[in-house]
């Protein structure tokens, strides 16, 4: 299997004929450096973008300059299939660490989903997984206290990255600053700092110098009320 079609991804179910067609439609690989926008709010791209390597995040900017991170995307995710239908991006997508991407012209998307129903279904599945993650995250933002939110986010990222075969072992590279974590969790950076200290002291997880170390996976899941069911599209 091509490394971009990572295991456990919605694309993994594609027949090899379909995988080949999809990969052939991809344009050249482009490197994006950490912190750069892959897609900006208001863009009207004529292509759809696939994340080949690295971690990126969706975000919205508020009028006063604050930002809210909406979700994280990992290797193998299609970042803006939506622009194929709606044309205009209503949020930005930014590289967390260094990334590699490739694009597919919307016209090629058209003929792919027309010719290969399996690809259309896989894209649909991908979008539904994103929605499921959004729903779970809405509940966390609205109802869970700070330490549960952070624990839950750590669980989700760890689970997804491991399922994708991108992360291994107890500690893995995750170039997330406390400020970014605050923008994801709907908290202030200062409070994130205090929560991280608690998680560290309690021996659950440690985020330091861009490496997330999960010290007690069972307890971390409990702390974040994490149930991975929503990540398995069944």
Partner DNA sequence: CGAGGTCTTGAAGACGATCAACAAACGTGG
Partner DNA sequence: CCACGTTTGTTGATCGTCTTCAAGACCTCG
Q: Which residues bind DNA (CB under 7 A)?
A: 145-147, 177-179, 186-191, 193-194, 196-197, 207-209
Stretch that binds its own copies, among 27-35, 49-57, 138-146, 205-213 (CB under 8 A): 138-146
Site string for its own copies, 166-195 (x = CB under 8 A): -------------------xx---------
Stretch that binds its own copies, among 21-29, 79-87, 204-212, 215-223 (CB under 8 A): 79-87
What is the residue whose two structure tokens read 């390597």? 53
What is the residue whose two structure tokens read 């539904």? 128
124 binds its own copies (CB under 8 A): yes
Which tokens belong to 93?
A: 């997508």
How far is the C-alpha of 29 from the C-alpha of 15, rounded, in Å? 23
Within a 10 A sphere around the Cβ of 63, how many other Cβ atoms?
5
Dihedral angle of Cα 187, 188, 190, 195, to the nearest 10 degrees: 0
Which tokens belong to 204?
A: 């659950």
What is the residue whose two structure tokens read 């991108």? 166
138 binds its own copies (CB under 8 A): yes
Stretch that binds its own copies, among 30-38, 48-56, 117-125, 190-198 (CB under 8 A): 117-125
Strands in the chain per DSSP E: 30-32, 37-39, 47-53, 56-61, 67-73, 92-95, 99-105, 171-173, 205-208, 211-214
Q: Residue 88: which of DNA, its own copies, none does it interact with, CB under 5 to 8 A by kind? A: its own copies
Which tokens belong to 22?
A: 């999809």
62 binds its own copies (CB under 8 A): yes
2 binds its own copies (CB under 8 A): no
Q: Residue 178: which of its own copies, DNA, none does it interact with, CB under 5 to 8 A by kind? A: DNA
Rule CB under 8 A: which of 32-61 touch its own copies?
A: 58, 60
Exposed / middle / buried, residue 203 (Cβ in 10 Å: 0-12, 13-18, 19+): exposed
In the complex, the residues that contact its own copies under the rule CB under 8 A are: 58, 60, 62-63, 66, 68, 70, 82, 85-88, 90-91, 114, 117, 120-121, 124-125, 127-128, 130-132, 134-139, 141-143, 185-186, 225, 229-230, 233-234
């Amino acid at each position: 299997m091509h490394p971009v079609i990572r295991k456990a991804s919605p694309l993994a179910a594609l027949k090899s004929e379909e995988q080949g067609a999809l990969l052939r439609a991809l344009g050249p690989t482009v490197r994006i450096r950490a912190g750069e926008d892959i897609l900006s709010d208001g863009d009207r791209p004529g292509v759809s973008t696939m994340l080949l390597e690295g971690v990126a995040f969706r975000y919205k900017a508020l009028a006063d300059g604050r930002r809210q991170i909406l979700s994280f995307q990992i290797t193998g995710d299609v970042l803006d299939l939506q622009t194929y239908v709606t044309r205009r991006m209503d949020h930005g997508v930014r590289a967390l660490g260094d990334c590699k991407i490739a694009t597919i012209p919307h016209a090629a998307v058209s003929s792919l989903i027309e010719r290969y129903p399996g690809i259309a279904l896989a894209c649909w599945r991908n979008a539904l997984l994103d929605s499921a993650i959004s729903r779970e995250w809405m509940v966390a933002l609205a109802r869970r206290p700070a330490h549960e939110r952070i624990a839950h986010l750590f669980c989700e990222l760890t689970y997804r990255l491991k399922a994708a075969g991108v992360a291994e072992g107890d500690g893995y590279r995750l170039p997330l600053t406390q400020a970014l974590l605050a923008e994801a969790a709907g908290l202030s950076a200062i409070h994130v700092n205090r929560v991280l200290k608690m998680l560290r002291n309690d021996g659950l997880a440690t985020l330091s110098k861009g490496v997330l170390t999960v010290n007690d996976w069972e307890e971390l899941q409990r702390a974040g009320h994490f149930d991975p069911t929503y990540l398995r599209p069944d």
